[in-house]
C-alpha cells in the first residue's frame, strides 16, 4: 500500500524523533566510532523514507535494527575492501611507504565507485563475488551456498569482473 507523501513524512518524523538517539547509540556501540555511527544512522533513516510499509510498522526498533544491520554489513564489507586495497597498494608500491594523500583519496574514490557498482548487481552475482574475493572461497563452495552450478558461479564472477574493469578503466 502506497502511503501519501504528507502521511509518510509525519511517520518518518515520528520515527526519527522517537528512535534516532537509541539507534545512534546502538550503532556507536557496534562500531566504536561516533562519526560512522552518525552516518549509518542517517543512512538508515534515508532507507526508512523509501519504505512503503511504515503505516503497518508494529516494532519500530526491530525494523530499524534490521535496516541498520544491513547497512552495517555493507559498511564493514567496504571497510574490509578498503583495507585490502590499501594493503595491496602498499605491497606493490615501489618504495613500500604509506600512500600519499592524493593516492589515498584516489583509492577511496575508486573503492566508492566499485562499491556503488556492486550495490547495483543482482544479489547472487554480488554475493558470489564477495565470497570469492573477500573470503577466498572456492567456486564449488560458493555454488553450494548459493544453490547454483559451478559454471554459473564462473559466469557471475566473469560478469562482475568485467563491470569492475569498466569502473576502473572506462
Q: 95 or 165: whose pLDDT is higher?
A: 165
- Residue 94: pLDDT above 60? no
CB 24 within 8 A of CB 64: no
The yes-or-no verdict on residue 157 having pLDDT over 80 is yes
Supply the pLDDT for residue 166.
Answer: 86
Q: Do the Cβ atoms of 54 and 8 come closer than 8 Å?
A: yes
Q: Quick one: pLDDT band at residue 97, thresholds 50, 70, 90?
A: low
What is the grid cell recorded at 133? 574475493
Count of other CB atoms within 10 angstroms of residue 36: 17
Q: Kindly report the pTM of this predicted structure.
A: 0.54
Q: What is the pLDDT of residue 137?
A: 87
42-90, pLDDT tens digit by residue? 999 888 888 877 777 889 999 999 999 999 998 888 888 888 877 777 7
Long-range pairs, 73-76, Cβ under 8 A, ≥24: 74/115, 74/119, 75/31, 75/36, 75/40
Where exactly are the structural domains of the chain? 1-98
Q: Check pLDDT > 60 for residue 15.
A: yes
Most confidently modeled range among 8-12, 48-52, 127-131 = 127-131
Amino acid at each position: 500500500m502506497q502511503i501519501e507523501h504528507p502521511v509518510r513524512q509525519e511517520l518518518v518524523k515520528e520515527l526519527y524523533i522517537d528512535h534516532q538517539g537509541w539507534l545512534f547509540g546502538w550503532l556507536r556501540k557496534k562500531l566504536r566510532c561516533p562519526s560512522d555511527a552518525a552516518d549509518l544512522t542517517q543512512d538508515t533513516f534515508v532507507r526508512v523514507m523509501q519504505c512503503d510499509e511504515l503505516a503497518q510498522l508494529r516494532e519500530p526498533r526491530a525494523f530499524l535494527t534490521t535496516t541498520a544491520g544491513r547497512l552495517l554489513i555493507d559498511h564493514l564489507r567496504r571497510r574490509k575492501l578498503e583495507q585490502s586495497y590499501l594493503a595491496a597498494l602498499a605491497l606493490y608500491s615501489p618504495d613500500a611507504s604509506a600512500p600519499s594523500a592524493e593516492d589515498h583519496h584516489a583509492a577511496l574514490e575508486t573503492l566508492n565507485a566499485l562499491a556503488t557498482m556492486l550495490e547495483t548487481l543482482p544479489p547472487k552475482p554480488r554475493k558470489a563475488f564477495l565470497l570469492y574475493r573477500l573470503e577466498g572461497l572456492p567456486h564449488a563452495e560458493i555454488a553450494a551456498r548459493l544453490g547454483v552450478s559451478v559454471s554459473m558461479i564462473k559466469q557471475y564472477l566473469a560478469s562482475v569482473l568485467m563491470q569492475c574493469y569498466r569502473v576502473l578503466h572506462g
